[in-house]
Chain A
Amino acid sequence: MNKSTRFTRRATLGLAAAATALTIGMVPAYSQAVTLDFWDMAWAGADYVTTAEAQVAKFNAENPDIQVTYRNIPWSNWYETFVTALASGSAPDVSTGGGFQAVALYGQGEILPVDDVIAEIGDDFVPGSLDAMKYDGVSVAVPWATSTRVLFYRKDILEKAGVAVPTTFEEFRAAAKAVTGNGVYGLVSSGDAGGMHWIPYVTLANGGGLFNEDGTAGLTSEASMTGLGILAGIVADGSLNPASVGYVNNDAIGSFGRGEAAFLLSGALMPSQVPPEAAALIGVVPPLKGAHGEAETLHFVNNIMLYKQTEHPAEAKKFLKWWSDNALPLWSEGKVGNLPTRASVAADERFASNEFAQAALNEYEPIAKTLSEAKGGTFPALNAVDGDGFLVSLVQAIWQGQPLDAVVPTANDHLTELLAE
């Protein structure tokens, strides 16, 4: 290769490079679509993911200038997932999440309020769901679905023992005791989050709750202790399956489905997880009246939230509203286990024909309160209260039969600590 050839080659390359640069610069700006990252929790099985992805594809087709990428996030270690993403500046634009995710992250300065989106949607939310989104004068998230705790019973077991469906907590304890024996227990529960729900449920249902009205820790209040006393009583009676301490949610549901226990506190659509022959034998206990004469129940309102790190808030809000408006297929085809918060979706016939959904929507939802009772509203510490494990340890201790005086005050102190942080 001689000098002249090399020069020519270099010149040709230079010309080619210049031409390419010119062409790239001439690409029109409007073909650059806005891309959004949407992280959606694993609300149900494989069918849900397929349906959700199809929904996102539908949005993308209808909105060529906004392209959304869908990602499904598993529940295990979810907080770790989000926090590491946020800490490294790689948060999504929009995500769904549990009941206190938005408010917790809002407290860390990572969430954009969505009052305008809610206003745009208008008056289509089931009663009570919007209140659970309000903190510090703003709405931190759009309600996505409610996870309502319902008390179920086995018709066959109660009939066989000749026991009537209880209407108060005292009757509930007596009924559980009456049916226990011969390999059947009155109550089965778990030693994880599913079992832990008994604590806020039984305390608020008796007029107390995790918190007092003034916002201080309320586990040791008289009303709360009355409620917890019911649980301790059931354990002392021998009506609780002792394996409950080590069970996880699935085990408890499996056991209830096999007819090994008469009562179970679980999500509203739990019967769809047991074989159909068993589901036919399951009934819903009308909300039990507490010691204060009224009936109250527990629910969690899951969120759709918007992140501060988003570079396109307007487009993200548009997608968020669309996701909330077009939620029906997620239930009809995706088989979500929670209940919808959009009244228009809840009115769909799929729910009209499902007796358990109806019971939950009509009997439980109207009197449902969140974890923050008796204070009300939502605040960042609730995420730690729900997630840090001390309530799980408490329910395990109660299921083990440890005396309330020994374990509840410690838990209450821990709760006070969490509030102070």
Chain B
Amino acid sequence: MTAAADSVERKPWRSGARATLTPELKTAAILLAPSILLLAVVIVFPIVQGFWFSLTNGSLLKPGKFIGLGNYVELLQSPAFYHSLRFSALFAVCNIVGSYLIGLGLALLMQRDMPGRGIYRVLLLLPWIVPSLVSIVAWRWMVMDDKALFNVVIKAFGGSPIFFLSESEWAIAVVIMIRIWRSVPFMMLSLLAALQTIDRSLYEAAAIDGATRWQSFWNVTLPQLKNISIVLCLLMTIWTVNDFDTPWLLAQGGPANATETLVILAYRSTFARNDVGMGAATSFITLFILMILVFFLLRLQRRSA
């Protein structure tokens, strides 16, 4: 029992900006200790070593020579890098827009009182819960040749079969569609939770003012969701850019490198080309780009908070 009890009468919880060893700081430090320990071991050590790798030209078995920023320079001059950068950006943007819109729609739907709502909520989580290998195998079956389900339906409507995994543009569309499909449940769940916390009285006030359904959605619901939406989009961007499974399991970044993302490029450099330096450099550049993005998006959120 500390003496703080005497002086704390109505003292606010938030201490000032001074980082002295106030009871709050000590308490905070204790509370953070387990997390910091885990992070130090698993993240800090590899980051440092990874950065060192990116400055050498070795393989995993033979440490190479120090070549300074050589890897980075080579990377920034290679067309493969810009191609995968463009595709990673396309992949991320499409996923965010698609999964947010569909997720929001489903969240609004799941707010309605209807029989079986609880079951539907769980079943709609399946695309997220099913392991990636299995869901991608299932999708491949649906699109892979002229006897696949999608083409059966297309032919029933009188069209000619589309070879989704053979043509680069269609393969890109399929991988984006699968990514959105896998992201929607998470967006739906998060937005649903956020929707539940919107103060009902705001809607009542809008109704009294004569607002239509659409107006109250636009003027009450959306602004209330703004903060969490920005955070969700941020998270989803990070997860999408770092997503190895979806493009790899579908077509290993093919056909003809059409769906190669930055992560796949890094993986190929490290394990297929034996060039750990390049792989590490690619990963660090990706990290750097993400950091810039996060920084700007957080600024946006802070300004509107």
Where the two chains meet, the residues of A that have a C-beta atom closer than 8 Å to any C-beta of B are: 77, 79-80, 83-84, 86-87, 105, 108-110, 191-192, 241-247, 251, 255, 384, 387-389, 392-394, 396-397, 399-400, 402, 407, 418, 421
Of chain A, the residue at the smallest CB distance from B62 is: A108
Query: Does the CB pair A389–B255 fall under 8 Å?
Result: no
Query: Does the CB pair B61–A108 fall under 8 Å?
Result: yes
Query: Does the CB pair A399–B166 fall under 8 Å?
Result: yes
Q: Does B272 contact A (CB under 8 A)?
A: yes
Q: Does B171 contact A (CB under 8 A)?
A: yes
Total residues of chain B contacting the partner, CB 8 A? 28
Q: Does B146 contact A (CB under 8 A)?
A: yes
Of chain A, the residue at the smallest CB distance from B151 is: A243
Query: Does the CB pair B254–A77 fall under 8 Å?
Result: no
Q: Is the interface of A mostly helix, strand, loop or mixed?
A: helix
Answer whether A393 and B254 are a contact pair too, CB < 8 Å, given A84-B60, A242-B163, A246-B144.
yes
Query: Does the CB pair B166–A388 fall under 8 Å?
Result: no
Of chain B, the residue at the smallest CB distance from A80 is: B271
20 residue pairs of the A-B complex, CB under 8 angstroms, read: A79-B271, A83-B271, A110-B61, A191-B165, A243-B165, A243-B166, A245-B165, A246-B166, A247-B145, A247-B165, A384-B274, A388-B268, A392-B254, A393-B257, A397-B255, A400-B166, A400-B168, A400-B255, A407-B256, A421-B275
Give the CA-CA distance A109 to B61 in the complex, in Å.
Answer: 9
Q: Does B251 contact A (CB under 8 A)?
A: yes
Answer whether A387 and B272 are a contact pair too, CB < 8 Å, given A245-B163, A246-B165, A392-B252.
yes
Of chain B, the residue at the smallest CB distance from A104 is: B274
Q: Does B86 contact A (CB under 8 A)?
A: no
Q: A243 to chain B: which residues have CB within 8 Å?
A: 144-146, 163, 165-166
A89 → chain B, closest Cβ, in Å? 11
Q: Does B273 contact A (CB under 8 A)?
A: yes
The contact string, 1 if C-beta is below 8 Å from chain A, for chain B 16-27, is 000000000000
Query: Does the CB pair B256–A393 fall under 8 Å?
Result: yes
Answer whether A396 and B163 are a contact pair too, CB < 8 Å, given A79-B271, A86-B61, A251-B144.
no
A363 → chain B, closest Cβ, in Å? 32
Query: Does the CB pair A245–B271 fall under 8 Å?
Result: no
The contact string, 1 if C-beta is below 8 Å from chain A, for chain B 247-269, is 00001111111000000000010
Q: B59 to chain A: which residues have CB within 8 Å?
A: 108
Q: A80 to chain B: which residues have CB within 8 Å?
A: 271
Q: B145 to chain A: which residues have CB within 8 Å?
A: 241, 243, 246-247, 251, 255
Q: A83 to chain B: which residues have CB within 8 Å?
A: 60-61, 271
Of chain A, the residue at the smallest CB distance from B270 is: A80
Q: B167 to chain A: which residues have CB within 8 Å?
A: 245, 400
Q: A393 to chain B: which residues have CB within 8 Å?
A: 254-257
Q: B251 to chain A: which residues have CB within 8 Å?
A: 191, 246
Q: A244 to chain B: which residues have CB within 8 Å?
A: 166
Q: Does B186 contact A (CB under 8 A)?
A: no
> Quick one: which of B59-93 are within 8 Å of A by CB?
59-62
Query: Does the CB pair A87–B271 fall under 8 Å?
Result: no
